[in-house]
Amino acid sequence: MSIQSSPEAAAAARFAADTAKHTMTVVHDDGVYRHLVVRDPQHPYYWFELITTPGQLVFSGDGDSFVFRRLTDMFQFFRTGIRRDGSTDINPVYWSEKLTSRRDAARTYSVKLFDEEVTRELETVEEDYPGVGEAWTEHVESGYTTEYEDEARRALDDFQFGESYRARCTKCVWSLEDESRTVARRRMDDHTKEAGEKHVGRVEDLTFTFSNVSEWQLQDFDWWFLWALHGIVHGIARYDRLRSYGLMALATPSQREAGAL
C-alpha cells in the first residue's frame, strides 16, 4: 500500500481541506491548564477544541471526543508529532494506547481490510479450487453486502465452493471422492464389507469454506480519530507559533468574547 493511499495520508488531506479557514482562539492559558478553540469564524463545521490539565488532554469537537493521559504536560507528549520543518506526523498506534476514553471509538470496521483478507485467502486456495474467486464474487452479488461487518461475516459463513467428500480407508490405499457425503459414506461401507471389517475409514469434507476468520483483523483506525490526531498536533503547532512570535494577545478573546464561546 502506498503512502499516498494510506488512511493517515487521506485523513491529513481531509483535515487540511476541512480546516483551511479555521482560526485559533486561546480561551485559557495558564501553565498546563489550557483551552484552545479552533474553528471557522463563518461556519460551524469541523470545529474542535483542546483542553489540558495536569496529566490529561481532551480533544472534543464536531464528532467523538477523546481523552489522553501520559505526561504531566500532554502538549509535550504530542509535540513528537511535529517535525523540525513544521510539518506534522501522527502516530495513531502508539497514541491510541494512551486513550483513557473509549478505545473502541478509535477503530472501526474496514471494507478494505476485509477485501484484503478475502483476496489473500482465495489466492492461496485458487490452485486447489479453480474458479473460487469468481464464485465468491457471484456469492456476494447474490444478496450480501460487505459494507458492514456483521453482513460481511455472514457472507463468509454462508460461502461454500467445490462441494466434495473423500472416503478413505485407514487400512489400505483405497479412497473415493464424491459430491455427496451420503454416497461417499455408503461406498466406504461397501468397501468394508468387501475387504473385511478391519478396512474401516472416515469421510473427509473437501468443500472449501473460510476458516479461522475470527482471527482476521478487520478493524482500522476511524477517520475521525485520525482527523482528531491531526487536529491535536496542528493545534499545538499553531499554539507554539503564537507564543514564539509573541502573538498570544491577538488570539486571546476579551472577557466578553470569551463568554460567548
Q: Cell 469454506, residue? A: 209
**Residue 257 or residue 198, greater confidence:** 198
**Is it the case that residue 61 has pLDDT exceeding 80?**
yes
**Contacts of residue 227, Cβ cutoff 8 Å, sequence gap at least 6:** 11, 14, 15, 18, 63
Compute the average pLDDT of residues 33-54. 96
Among the listed ranges 95-99, 113-117, 172-176, which one has the minimum average pLDDT value? 172-176
**Is it the case that residue 148 has pLDDT exceeding 90?**
yes
pLDDT band, residue 191 (cuts 50/70/90) = low
pLDDT band, residue 134 (cuts 50/70/90) = very high
Distance CA 76, CA 70 (A): 10
Query: 212 phi and psi, to 5 degrees?
Result: 55, 30
Task: Spell out the domain ranges in the chain.
Answer: 3-107+221-260, 111-162+210-217, 163-207
- pLDDT per residue over 69-86, tens digit each? 999 999 999 999 998 887
Global pTM exceeds 0.95: no
- pLDDT per residue over 196-241, tens digit each? 888 888 877 778 999 989 899 999 999 999 999 999 999 999 999 9
H/E stretch holding 115: helix 111-125
The percent of residues above 90 in pLDDT, for the chain, comes to 64
pLDDT band, residue 187 (cuts 50/70/90) = confident
Per-residue burial over 65-101, b = 16 or more CB atoms within 10 Å of its CB, e = otherwise: ebbbebbebbbebbeebbeeeeebebebeebbebbee
Quote the pLDDT of residue 178. Answer: 66
250: three-class secondary structure by DSSP? helix
Quote the pLDDT of residue 227. Answer: 97
**Residue 253 or residue 53, greater confidence:** 53
Distance CA 78, CA 93 (A): 13
Compute the average pLDDT of residues 102-116. 93
CA distances to 39, 56, 107, 220, 229 from 93, rounded to whole Å, are 27, 18, 11, 10, 11
pLDDT band, residue 192 (cuts 50/70/90) = confident
Among the listed ranges 40-44, 191-195, 235-239, 240-244, which one has the minimum average pLDDT value? 191-195
